[in-house]
């Protein structure tokens, strides 16, 4: 099993079942994902073969109920899965987050029984892939300004507009697309083959290279009436999905940080300069201690959040705090790790530069660091400073 | 009751008894301490009258057993008391820390039954005051180098040497003095009136002004045989006391941070510039959010530490992590708060500058930030970088 | 002469005359100011006896022309004087800044010939003391919102309002007061004895304790017509004075940093822990190197600014950049120095805590760090973000 | 011409000739380099065709004398060239630095007249490419421990050992190799075709992708007697080359920062969110202001360093200070720029992610940040903390 820093003995509090899920995620990542990630990252390709495996292991929409083919695990287990996937690569966790939190979750929460029965089992098993279309080229931090519209047309709707930075966009079988219908945001299920729906892969990414990012276009794209998500309305519907995803990111970031921290620690213990391991230099220890201390904070946030979420005592600002802090922590940890490895830190023989590059996306998507600052600021002060 | 930031609902997990102790500490600080602290801070005087009150409330050595007149509370309650005392002033918490963790604790842990029965009830009630003599003028971060010696002499020992930066030194009825006997560190109880024992108050402090700091001198100071602490030997004895005190500091720092955070928050909500409360400016929100986020980390560390300590699963490096982090957090919080108050931040109409000044000591004593970095670094890497 | 860090050999470029002025400022500070500063800081008293000496040495309004009794030195010399005064104490530099940049400068630039002839020589010699009334209790960062008014009355004006945080307010013979006359800001000379003009000293300051700070009140305070400054109108008049003062602060901050840096360096070279000087530890060297590197930046900014100012190529945003950077640098330097001295850093046997406390004011007054950020931000982006 | 931030009007002090060289470098980068860099970076290929152009423009060893075919420019011009090359890409500046400072400089300074006449004109024109072999796999920060040896053999030497992280290693016609001869470090010219000399390109770099990095191996590699550099001996010879290169890096880093700063500034002025350009948000302005302020420091350091170097008043610690500061500044600037561009910051449509990745090498090579900290620390304190 992978080593996990556990200065405050949080992982010792896991139940046997949680521990088993955790181990299963570690085994999967180590044995089935790690051997090929270097090549995928180099070539900017997506390891599509892993999706059914993720499904088989119950890692897609794992927190959703078993009646729809999902694993129905608690929030701590869900978090541990995300941690281990992102210890592998942020792309891997992203794919699972999109599928589980941004596609399956809205179908489960806002969909009709028919939609749930149709889609959830196929998505849970990884037979089908989904994507989530909220962000638009000109509306990143301010999704309520979206221009994509749905207009009633015959027995359905015509969707027009475009969506940007869509993970899995070009490989998805179905897109959950958010569009304004009579000025109000609604979610729509848009199958891949729908006429008028096209996607273009974003090229030249130097972050999350092992995942697919796309632009989606909708040009008089007709979808039938029962493809609307009947129960979600207004911006709070997609925002509730983002909360689920951000929760997963808060855990995932710990995984990334564990990967770079342990790599740097081991490197420092074996790399000899001036006749001794560089781990014995104060300037190196200082960096390792800051990493370990910050990882410990992140773990405490994540474990407590799991508990609050399981108890239904959870508020979105708690997640903003954890997403903002933990990703920033992981990025700083990757940067320090890169520094400790010196020249070796820039080659993909080590995972560090890959994580460092990935986290530049992770700190931006699902609410930038600044946006979460302002969400928290509004909560604390009672005053909005967004505009 | 004082407002307490609780973004992760930690204080909601308190038991009724813990909550009552917490409230009692808050009441004491608000009603009996706060009215005079401004004057004491201005004049650099110690509010000696509070010590018996601290005793009556059970705040001196509160975690020690009731059979010796102590309150016998759990570590969470002990922590909450420290939090509230330091919300008042770091001096107040320091006085309680010294009495409880550095005087009563070693007597309880390393003393004879006779010593315990004699001293603990008097110290718990605040009838007697103690101090802790470990640090020497030339041995701050490296106490094992101490020069103070105890030599067998008749039916006792002759102590020679000096100790520096001793809180309560000039007002203590008894000093727990650490000295080398045959090259090995031992603890000795030195009553105030012992011939050859003198103390000099340090003047010109601009930090912890409301407490007394002294230099102690021992010049052929004879103490009888039964004043040696029989069960403690070697540096690990005083270090175990420091662990107790540092645990209290980790909680106390949260109290200081709550004081400056809430002051800055309220100020920002009422101070109008450019036609609106400054709380509505992004640059102010960013500072408040960082404070609140960092306070939340500190709270999670402290609550978890209490649990680990109650369960006996606790390791000194955990405390190093919490002391290092929480005090640094409190200092940064005070600095940001000072900044938010602008000119008003420098006058003692507000508590902020006082906390800012105090924390410059708190970050230094009981192991500087750097020393805790190296303790943690050694634990993580397995290599010492002290020398 | 005091030691001055000069890694980029800037001080070697000084002319003989500049060097002589520099030395004269150093001598004054070391011999006439330093011996008493500890006591004044402890007691929060102002060493009034130094003002005539400052005058005699040409340090009051030193950059103004000789025809009005001033020294007429260039901007480099003016800067060096400010550097050395603040190496002593920020209070000392503040007093000189107020007199020179905020009282004499507006009289010289916006006053009538009669006003100049009357006031400048007396102020230059230190026979008279002045103060500058711009900030109001409710208008710190936004002076244009001021409520103080001047209304035409008989052969003069009635001034009503109040001013806050006025250095030298209670000891000044004359106040340069900014008030709105028909909605437009004008400067007025208000002699101390004017009926309706009162001042109250601010108590409980824990910053700039060796200078006097006051609140000024104007209650139907009549001043004759020829006490208005005829040539200044609008906010840009007082802002131009602030530019002069901020220029001096940019230099002064270097002086403060030199004081704390050299103290910490020397301490680290003589303080032995673990058998060697603490200067030999990487964690200490890192702090010293950051200090020295940052001081070097500040010196380059200040020297270049002097050149640009002498050449008339100077723009206020340059000064905002230097004030913002150099004071922040000095504050960080003081904090690191405090840290290096550990416990010794909090007592006034060393100058560090005093500088640390002072700089909390210096970073706030004459435009807070945030306000200078927004001034620069507007300049760089072309968009205002003040409101 | 490219836009250059010049808040302190440093570039206005350039002579006509310097300005012309500067412009010529800008033109070259914009017209001949930028059009292909995106592809080279994507594909990790080196644009070999630019080397002769660099030669023609006088950018290779530009500070060396005209008698050897070099441009013989002053240090300011040399710096400006480096700035503009690195504004393009750190790879480009690296190639020029290696050729000029690490190959031509040691030949010029330590070579025989014959070596100079033979190599310098060909290297200056870009007909031949050189590389510099100092670092070894196990000796990065501590080159004096090198294991590569030269042994006298017949009329020459046998070289054995290996060198790592060698820019241009696989494309070089000649390597300047440092090896121990009788325990003392000497430089040797090793032509590419020498039997026993092989090079292997490092693959999987995610930094400086547009340049070639190699490992060199020497296996009983015989070179004739007159291939030793006769005038250099001891570690100070290669260190003097590093000083030349680091000087160029200090300037180059400014170029990188200008590229990312201007990109972020323009983006912020045109990107609309919440109905206005993001440049109007305080959190964005704060980042831009920090960048601009830090770039200004770096410029002042570089300009002053040029002057000191031209005057022969230059000391290596000055360069350590500038290399350490300016590269760290450029990296922070790239990170902030990436942040301001949000999602757009990770694609190579913009130059930011490329610079961010490059700078992870630049902060490491030619002395890591930490090594320069310790060089400066030793200079300031008089005590070494390397070991």
Q: Can you give the three-state secondary structure of chain A, one letter per residue?
A: CCCCCCCCCCHHHCCHHHHHHHHHHHHHHHHHHHHHHHHHHHHCCCCCCHHHHHHHCCCCCCCCCHHHCCCCCCHHHHHHHHHHHHHHCHHHHHHHHHHHHHHHHHHHHHCCHHHHHHHHHHHHCCCCCEEEECCECCECCCHHHCCCEEEEECCEEEEEEEEEEEECCCCCCEEEEEEEECCEEEEEEEECCCCCEEEEECCCECCCCCCCEEEEEEEEEEEEHHHECCCCCCCHHHHHHHHHHHHHHHHHHHHHHHHHHHHHHHHHHHCEECCEEHHHCHHHHHHHHHHHHHHHHHHHHHHHHHHHHHCCCCCHHHHHHHHHHHHHHHHHHHHHHHHHHHHHHHECCCCHHHHHHHHHHHCCCCCCHHHHHHHHHHHHHCCCCCC
Give the C-alpha separation, A302 to A72, whole Å. 19
Chain C hits for B284, CB-CB cut-off 8 Å, are 370
- Nearest-10 Cα torsion for B160, B161, B166, B168: 30
Instruction: Give the count of Cβ contacts less than 8 A between chain B and D.
Output: 8
Question: Domain A11-124 classified CATH 1.10.540.10?
Answer: yes
Catalytic option among A66, A366, A370, A387: A366
Q: Are D187 and D237 in contact (CB under 8 A)?
A: yes
Chain D hits for C368, CB-CB cut-off 8 Å, are none
pLDDT at residue C37 is higher than 80: yes
- Kindly list the domain boundaries of chain C, sorted by start residue: 11-125, 130-227, 236-381
pTM for this predicted structure:
0.97
ipTM, interface predicted TM-score of the complex = 0.97
End-to-end, the C-alpha distance of chain A in Å comes to: 48
pLDDT at residue A1 is higher than 70: no
Chain D hits for C9, CB-CB cut-off 8 Å, are 308, 313
pLDDT at residue C39 is higher than 90: yes
- Does residue A314 belong to the interface with chain C, where contact is any CB pair within 8 Å? no
Same fold, D11-124 and D236-381: no
Residue of D nearest to C281 (CA): D385
CA–CA distances in Å: residue A138 to residues A218, C355, D269 = 16, 49, 14
CA distance A5 to chain C (A): 24
Residue of C nearest to A282 (CA): C282
- Does residue B305 belong to the interface with chain A, where contact is any CB pair within 8 Å? yes
- Does residue B282 belong to the interface with chain D, where contact is any CB pair within 8 Å? yes
Q: How high is the pLDDT of residue D1?
A: 65
Closest CA to C269 of D380, B352, B261: D380
Q: Read off the pLDDT of residues B357-387 as tens digits, 9 standing for 90 and up.
A: 999 999 999 999 999 999 999 999 999 999 8
Q: How high is the pLDDT of residue D387?
A: 84
CA distance A283 to chain B (A): 9
Q: How high is the pLDDT of residue D317?
A: 97
For the segment A202-217, the average pLDDT, to the nearest whole number, is 97
Closest CA to B176 of B229, B138, B212, B243: B229
End-to-end, the C-alpha distance of chain C in Å comes to: 48
Give the C-alpha separation, C79 to C77, whole Å. 5
Segments of chain B scoring below 50 in pLDDT: none
pLDDT at residue D129 is higher than 70: yes
Q: Read off the pLDDT of residues A103-144 as tens digits, 9 standing for 90 and up.
A: 999 999 999 999 999 999 999 999 999 999 999 999 999 999
* Pair type for strands C272-273 and C276-277: antiparallel
For B11-125, which CATH class? Answer: mainly alpha
Q: Are D176 and D103 in contact (CB under 8 A)?
A: yes
Q: Which of A44, A206, A264 is the best residue to mutate to test the D interface, defined by the most D CB atoms within 10 Å of its own CB?
A: A206
Give the C-alpha separation, C157 to A104, whole Å. 75
pLDDT at residue D86 is higher than 80: yes
Chain B hits for A381, CB-CB cut-off 8 Å, are 265, 268-269, 277, 279-280, 285, 288
Q: Which residues of C244-254 are buried (b: 16+ CB within 10 A; e: fewer)?
A: bbbbbbbbbbb
Q: Read off the pLDDT of residues A31-66 as tens digits, 9 standing for 90 and up.
A: 999 999 999 999 999 999 999 999 999 999 999 999
The third-level CATH classification (topology) of the domain covering C130-227 is: Butyryl-CoA Dehydrogenase, subunit A; domain 2 (2.40.110)
- Does residue A328 belong to the interface with chain D, where contact is any CB pair within 8 Å? no
Give the C-alpha separation, B283 to B341, whole Å. 13
The answer to whether residue A366 is catalytic is: yes
Hey, CA dihedral for D61, D63, D67, D71, is it positive or negative?
positive
- Does residue C364 belong to the interface with chain B, where contact is any CB pair within 8 Å? yes
Catalytic option among D86, D136, D215, D366: D366
Residue ranges of E strands in B310-387:
none
Instruction: Give the count of Cβ contacts less than 8 A between chain C and D.
Output: 129
Give the C-alpha separation, D365 to D101, whole Å. 14
- The model's confidence at residue C1, banded by pLDDT at 50, 70 and 90, is low
- Does residue C159 belong to the interface with chain B, where contact is any CB pair within 8 Å? no
- Does residue B140 belong to the interface with chain C, where contact is any CB pair within 8 Å? yes
Q: Can you give the three-state secondary structure of D174-194, one letter per residue?
A: EEEEEEEECCEEEEEEEECCC
Cβ neighbours of residue C15 under 8 Å, at least 6 residues apart? none
Residue of B nearest to C373 (CA): B283
- Does residue D118 belong to the interface with chain C, where contact is any CB pair within 8 Å? no
DSSP label at residue B136: B
- Span C236-381: which CATH code? 1.20.140.10
Q: Say yes or no for a CB contact (<8 Å) between B206 and C348.
A: yes
Average pLDDT, chain C: 97
pLDDT at residue C355 is higher than 90: yes
């Amino acid at each position: 099993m992978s080593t996990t820093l556990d200065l405050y003995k949080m992982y010792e509090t896991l139940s046997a079942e949680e521990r088993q899920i955790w181990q299963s995620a570690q085994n999967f990542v180590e044995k089935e994902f790690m051997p090929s990630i270097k090549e995928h990252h180099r070539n900017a390709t997506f390891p599509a073969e892993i999706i059914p495996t993720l499904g088989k292991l119950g890692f897609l929409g794992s927190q959703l109920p078993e009646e729809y083919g999902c694993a129905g695990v608690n929030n701590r287990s869900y978090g541990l899965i995300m941690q281990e996937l992102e210890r592998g690569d942020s792309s891997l966790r992203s794919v699972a987050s999109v599928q589980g939190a941004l596609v399956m979750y809205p179908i489960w929460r806002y969909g009709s029984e028919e939609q749930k029965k149709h889609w959830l089992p196929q998505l849970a098993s990884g037979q089908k892939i989904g994507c989530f279309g909220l962000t638009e080229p000109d509306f990143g931090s301010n999704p309520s300004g979206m221009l994509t519209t749905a207009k009633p047309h015959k027995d359905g709707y015509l969707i027009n507009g475009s969506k940007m930075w869509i993970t899995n966009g070009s490989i998805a079988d179905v897109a959950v697309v958010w569009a304004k219908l009579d000025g109000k945001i609604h979610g729509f299920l848009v199958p891949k083959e729908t006429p008028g729906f096209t996607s273009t892969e974003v090229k030249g990414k130097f972050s999350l290279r092992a995942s697919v990012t796309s632009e989606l276009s909708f040009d008089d794209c007709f979808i039938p009436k029962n493809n609307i998500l009947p129960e979600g309305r207004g911006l709070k519907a997609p925002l509730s999905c983002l909360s689920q995803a951000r929760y997963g990111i808060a855990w995932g970031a710990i995984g990334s940080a564990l990967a770079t921290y342990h790599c740097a620690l081991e490197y420092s213990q074996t790399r000899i300069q001036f006749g001794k391991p560089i781990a014995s230099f104060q300037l190196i220890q200082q960096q390792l201690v800051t990493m370990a201390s910050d990882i410990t904070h992140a773990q405490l946030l994540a474990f407590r959040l799991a508990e609050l979420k399981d108890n239904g005592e959870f508020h979105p600002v708690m997640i903003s705090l954890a997403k903002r802090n933990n990703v920033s922590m992981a990025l700083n940890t990757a940067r320090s790790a890169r520094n400790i490895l010196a020249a070796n830190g820039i080659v993909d023989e080590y995972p560090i530069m890959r994580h460092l590059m990935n986290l530049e996306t992770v700190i931006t998507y699902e609410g930038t660091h600044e946006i979460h600052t302002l969400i928290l600021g509004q909560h604390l002060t009672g005053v909005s400073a967004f505009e």
